[in-house]
Amino acid sequence: MKIASLQVQINDSETAADRMKKVDAQLEHLHGYDFILLPEIWMTGYNTFNRYMEEAEPLDGAFAAHYAKKAKTLHAYLFAGSFVEKSGGQYYNTSLLFNREGERIAAYRKIHLFTYGSEEGELLTRGTDPVTVETEFGKVGLATCYDLRFPEQFRKALDRGAKMFLVTSAWPLARLEHWKLFNAARAVENQCYLVSCNCVGNNQGVILGGHSRVVDPWGNVLATGDETESIVTAAFDLSMVDQIREDFPQLKHRVPIN
């Protein structure tokens, strides 16, 4: 399986249309990949809170329709990152996963909204349930940025059959070491592959951390970005998860703690 994580640069001079045009041009270089990832609220810019409401869209709006077509054209699973979803007078940080035919197979509303120096928790409504979805390679669990700090969400996805986690993010450079730690920890403790996609650049004075990662179930980093706009790629066999869990059966040794 070939996977590509598109580490998008965010700056305050671009419009959403500018950024979509740039991302679409980069996607054209990714034919032949099985999974492609984009980062968190990349079209608007995660920290551009004053544009959340005006750029919000319904689940079946223009953003979703556009990247459904891109997934079909690329013949790839496209984790389109997240956007601000408007639904029934409420707003969510929602990420979308499309299959090779351009069908939306999952929509995940971020559960753990960030409130430390962020307006996300004031403007948006949190999701309520982890999302795990079947693909031709096996089940994958979806997560967004701050979710990484809450291992119980990933454990729930594991219990639902996840063998790989896809994480969309706008994690800041100031806490880069935490980012690296949690990427590895969530993979190792659940014996899953983890693929993350983070932004880079300067968005409303926040320096974004980059270092999008591909981590195997042993915690080995198979590929990583730096702090520049780039495409992080890797190839691996997701069926190896079963063999690793058999060789080192830590998950069978779990003891329920009430």
Q: Say how many C-beta atoms besides its own lie within 10 A of residue 64's C-beta.
A: 20
**The total number of residues written for the chain in this structure:** 258
**110 included as an active-site residue:** yes
Tokens of residue 127, six digits: 């999701």
- Whose structure tokens read 């896809």? 166
Distances (CA, A) of 251 to 7, 178, 192, 245, 255: 32, 24, 11, 7, 9
AA letter at 20: M
**199 included as an active-site residue:** no
Catalytic residue among 40, 85, 163, 192: 40
Catalytic residue among 70, 86, 145, 163: 145
**40 included as an active-site residue:** yes
Tokens of residue 32, six digits: 């032949």
Contact present, 66 and 74 (Cβ < 8 Å): no
**Closest-CA residue to 159 (of 187, 184, 139):** 139
Which phi and psi (to 5°) does residue 138 adopt?
135, 180
Catalytic residue among 70, 85, 86, 110: 110
Number of helical H runs and strand E runs in the chain = 7, 15
Is beta strand 35-37 parallel, antiparallel or unpaired with respect to 2-7?
A: parallel
| b/e 221-239 (16+ beta carbons within 10 angstroms → b) | ebbbbebebbbbbbebebe
Q: Catalytic positions, please?
A: 40, 110, 145
